[in-house]
């Protein structure tokens, strides 16, 4: 039986090599695997192709660090603050390096991943008719009153969840964005989780399991691994942290000092977590759902 | 802040909230429309439902401040927490009555640009992109956009059509190009409200916000302004609208910053 539980550094080293197409931030604003993104930066990954729906600051950070060759997404910026400054510099000034952009809408990037998940070359849709996005992305082709969305197949999807077991069976709750199609489309899935729990906890509610265990190659127990994004039942969104990042990343120097302060000087996420006010961000008022009954006789 | 005064953003939220009719299924989006939905739901549209592309449907507005649509207060008490493609299915079926879209640039035919200023291959400004904007513009039955009124934003022709309005403005442009939804109903700015003819086409000035003039609107609009025969002054936010806005944005994160 494969050993899937490992530290973040090992998971990234083994499963996300240079040049990978990697999908992350798939539930939009919640559950963004920032700890994994920061490890990609620490390991100086290069030539990555990022895939996502909207990216709330995570893609911007990876782009600024020079890790990224291409972005395939519907929106890249900072959701509560606006523009992504590193994204702008890469597109407008080729700093720190040129960036290729494959534009999508939220609907079309979902369809591109479903197409890959279902192993077909493309899926048709009525969205994007009349949009210039069709002009800049050759993977979106209008014909016969429909737009045919070419499949996008990630090498790896990185997904942060509330809890998982050692085999990579993950429970996540809240809105899922395009998480499911990205995981099914990807060659392999890396799970990062708030809680690493016994299999019996997960298997007590199989409807909530996100992916087949056969897709999951690594499970990283990384509490707080989504900060500053929210995790339902665990962490609130750290709005001030996003604002601070937006302000500091306005200049290259400001971005570099942000990166040094929040990423490169730390060996791992555990050290990072000692530097944030986790107590005030942690959810303290819980709202438990009623358990369901899987009885059969 | 005194209850008889209001910020430009608070007026925009109040105006946007009045676009929501009771019973509407509203594709809410981010920022000011999140507040507009809460205001409408608390006042004239108690039967409205909100959809969020992150994968949520709600009736009651969230009980606490939202920095994004995916924040935990928006999930607790939701009518449906699901995947994005399920929410898009409703829009693709023509079931979304009203959508809101933010825009960086708009032109006189209601086309929005949130992608590139200048040549996409060598952009002067790279904007964040469509998000769900293009989907809403094409598939929802009607939609409204909100933006700061500046001549660099309200332009004769957008350099990139991310989210199509009435295209080149010729009759039936949307139908000819296979767009499912009806198109833009209004552009709500910091100075005024533009509306469109029944069958689409060119925006006209429908109402001017208190404290602003037609000349001022004209000088900050990048096209030859058409003015409605029955031009009016935009009604100010009511006391209860302002109370609701301040309940859902207590720190003024969305409505009192520059």
Confidence check: pLDDT of A1 > 70: no
Structure confidence at residue B30 (pLDDT): 82
Surface-to-core class of residue B205, CB atoms within 10 Å of its CB (0-12 exposed, 13-18 middle, 19+ buried): buried
| CB contact at 8 A, B143 and B136 | yes
Q: Out of A26-30, A235-239, B173-177, B253-257, pick the least confident.
A: B253-257
Q: Please tell me the distance from the alpha carbon of residue A162 to that of residue A234, in angstroms, as a whole number.
A: 8
Q: Per-residue pLDDT tens for A188-213?
A: 999 999 999 999 999 999 999 999 99
| CB contact at 8 A, A62 and A96 | no
CB contact under 8 A, A105 and B54: no
Q: Find residue B50's DSSP bridge partners.
A: B26, B58
Q: Please tell me the distance from the alpha carbon of residue A174 to that of residue A31, in angstroms, as a whole number.
A: 9
Q: Out of A175-179, A251-255, B4-8, B37-41, pick the least confident.
A: B4-8
Q: 3-class DSSP state for residue A157?
A: strand
* Domain coordinates in residue numbering, chain A: 8-114+152-274
CB contact under 8 A, A175 and B76: no
A136 touches chain B (CB under 8 A): yes
**ipTM of predicted complex:** 0.97
Q: Which CATH superfamily is domain B8-248 in?
A: Glutaconate Coenzyme A-transferase (3.40.1080.10)
Whole-prediction pTM: 0.97
- Between residues 164 and 193 of chain B, which touch chain A (CB distance below 8 Å)? 164, 167, 174, 177-180
CATH class given for the domain over A8-114+152-274: alpha beta
Residue showing tokens 């798939």: A26
Identify the helix (H) or strand (E) that includes residue A148.
strand A146-150
Q: Please tell me the distance from the alpha carbon of residue B183 to that of residue B69, in angstroms, as a whole number.
A: 24
* Of the partner residues A30, A103, A181, the one whose CB lies closest to the CB of residue B129: A103
B131 touches chain A (CB under 8 A): yes
Confidence check: pLDDT of B236 > 90: yes
Q: Per-residue pLDDT tens for B82-129?
A: 999 999 999 999 999 999 998 899 999 999 999 999 999 999 999 999
* Of the partner residues B71, B81, B126, the one whose CB lies closest to the CB of residue A230: B71
pLDDT confidence of B4, banded at 50, 70, 90? low
Q: Out of A110-114, A229-233, B6-10, B30-34, pick the least confident.
A: B30-34
């Amino acid at each position: 039986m494969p050993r899937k539980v490992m530290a973040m550094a090992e998971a990234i080293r083994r499963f996300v090599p240079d040049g990978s197409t990697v999908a992350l931030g798939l539930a939009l604003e919640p559950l963004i695997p920032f700890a994994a993104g920061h490890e990609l930066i620490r390991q100086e990954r290069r030539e990555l192709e990022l895939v996502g729906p909207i990216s709330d600051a995570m893609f911007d950070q990876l782009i600024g660090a020079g890790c990224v060759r291409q972005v395939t997404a519907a929106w890249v910026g900072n959701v509560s603050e606006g523009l992504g400054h590193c994204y702008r510099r890469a597109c407008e000034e080729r700093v720190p390096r040129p960036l290729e952009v494959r534009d999508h809408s939220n609907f079309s990037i979902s369809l591109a991943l479903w197409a890959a998940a279902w192993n077909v070359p493309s899926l048709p849709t009525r969205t994007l008719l009349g949009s210039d996005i069709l002009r800049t992305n050759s993977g979106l082709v209008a014909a016969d009153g429909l737009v045919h969305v070419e499949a996008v197949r990630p090498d790896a999807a990185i997904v942060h969840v509330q809890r998982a077991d050692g085999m990579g069976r993950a429970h996540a709750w809240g809105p899922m964005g395009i998480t499911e199609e990205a995981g099914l489309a990807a060659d392999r899935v890396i799970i990062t989780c708030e809680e690493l729990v016994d299999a019996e906890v997960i298997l007590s509610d199989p409807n909530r399991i996100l992916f087949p265990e056969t897709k999951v190659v690594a499970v990283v127990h990384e509490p707080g691994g989504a900060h500053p994004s929210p995790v339902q039942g665990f962490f609130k969104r750290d709005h001030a942290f996003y604002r601070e990042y937006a302000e500091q990343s306005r200049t290259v120097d400001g971005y570099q000092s942000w990166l040094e302060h929040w990423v490169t000087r730390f060996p791992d996420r555990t050290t990072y977590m000692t530097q944030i006010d986790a107590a005030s961000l942690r959810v303290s008022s819980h709202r438990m759902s009623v358990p369901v009954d899987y009885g059969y006789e | 802040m005194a209850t008889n005064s209001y910020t430009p953003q608070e007026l925009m939220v109040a105006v946007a909230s009045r676009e929501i009719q009771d019973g509407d299924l509203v594709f809410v989006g981010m920022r000011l429309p999140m507040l507009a939905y809460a205001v409408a739901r608390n006042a004239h549209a108690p039967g409205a439902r909100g959809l969020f592309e992150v994968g949520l449907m709600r009736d009651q507005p969230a009980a606490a401040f939202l920095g994004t649509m995916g924040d935990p207060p928006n999930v607790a008490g939701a009518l449906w927490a699901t995947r994005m493609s399920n929410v898009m299915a409703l829009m693709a079926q023509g079931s979304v009555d009203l959508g809101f879209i933010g825009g960086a640039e708009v032109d006189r035919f209601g086309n929005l640009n949130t992608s590139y200023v200048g040549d996409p291959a060598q952009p002067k400004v790279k904007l964040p992109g469509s998000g769900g904007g293009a989907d809403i513009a094409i598939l929802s039955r009607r939609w409204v956009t909100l933006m700061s009124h500046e001549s660099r934003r309200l332009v004769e022709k957008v350099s990139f059509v991310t989210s199509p309005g009435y295209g080149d403005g010729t009759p039936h442009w949307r139908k000819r190009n296979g767009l499912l939804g009806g198109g833009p109903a209004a552009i709500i700015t910091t100075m005024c409200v533009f509306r469109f003819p029944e069958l689409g086409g060119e925006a006209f000035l429908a109402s001017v916000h208190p404290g602003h003039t037609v000349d001022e609107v004209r000088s900050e609009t990048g096209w030859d302004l058409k003015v409605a025969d029955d031009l009016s002054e935009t009604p100010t936010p009511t006391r209860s609208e302002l109370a609701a806005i301040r309940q859902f944005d207590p720190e003024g994160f969305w409505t009192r910053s520059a």
